[in-house]
Structure 1
Amino acid sequence: MKMLIALSIALSAIVTQAHAATPQAWKALDKAMLESCLKASQLKDSQAVGSSAQFDDRVGYSALLLQGRYPQKHMNNRKGTELCLYNRKSRQASVTEWDSLGTQTPGTP
């Protein structure tokens, strides 16, 4: 009986640890996300701004803001911002322009 209880406790500890992410796992995720987001970016010399936002595992995405310069000649090397959504399961990044962030006054469309 004591052996069964000890085995149950040991298995619970192993299962609990398997679901907890280590600091190394988070670092690897951050690195993979950054690389994927930079690769997907349409901006030149893009770089991450601030830290990423980690959504719940039910959503499965992380978000990261990128800033760089528009490469198109008609954009005159203007600064640009993109939002990158990183799917943690598929390890795919999608970016969209995010230049309007903070430029609208409340109550205006």
Structure 2
Amino acid sequence: MIKTALSWLALAASIGTAQASSDQAWNEHDDTVINACIAASQLKAAQAVGRPAEFDDSVGYSAILLQGHYPQPHMKNALGRELCLFDKQRQSAHVSEWDSIMNVRKP
């Protein structure tokens, strides 16, 4: 009986530890995604908007919206947005301009 109780306590303690470790791992993953996406961005002073959106492992990507300013002189420091897809397997980031997110499309 005591052995069973100790086993349950050990299991409960390890579950709590695993959860804390998991939170830390997710925070590290978020930092990796954000840093890689900002490095791939063409925007000045790019920043992540929100947290990464996680797709199923069968897809293998995280996505995040970036916001910054266009560096080209003709853009006159206009605010810009990019969508970044982070390939989890290759640990690489790919960005595309996505200012159209602010426009509502009607069917």
Structure 2 equivalent of residue 26 of structure 1: 26
For these two proteins, the number of residue pairs brought into alignment is 88
SS at match of 2:103: coil
Aligned-pair CA distance for 1:106: 0.2
Q: Structure 1 unaligned runs (5+)? A: 1-17
Alignment of 1:1-109 (within 5 A): 22-107=22-107
Instruction: Give the root-mean-square deviation of aligned CA atoms.
Output: 1.5
Aligned-pair CA distance for 1:23: 1.1
Q: Which amino acid aligns with 1:75?
A: M
CA offset digits 1:27-85 (Å, max 9, x no partner): 11111111100000000000001121000000010000000000000000000000000
Aligned-pair CA distance for 1:105: 3.5
CA contact (8 A) 2:40 2:93 kept: yes
Runs (4+) off by over 3 Å: none
Q: Which amino acid aligns with 1:56?
A: D
Aligned pair in 2 of structure 1 residues 105, 60: CA closer, same or farther (>3 Å)? closer
Q: Structure 2 unaligned runs (5+)? A: 1-17
Q: Which amino acid aligns with 1:48?
A: A
TM-score (norm 1): 0.76
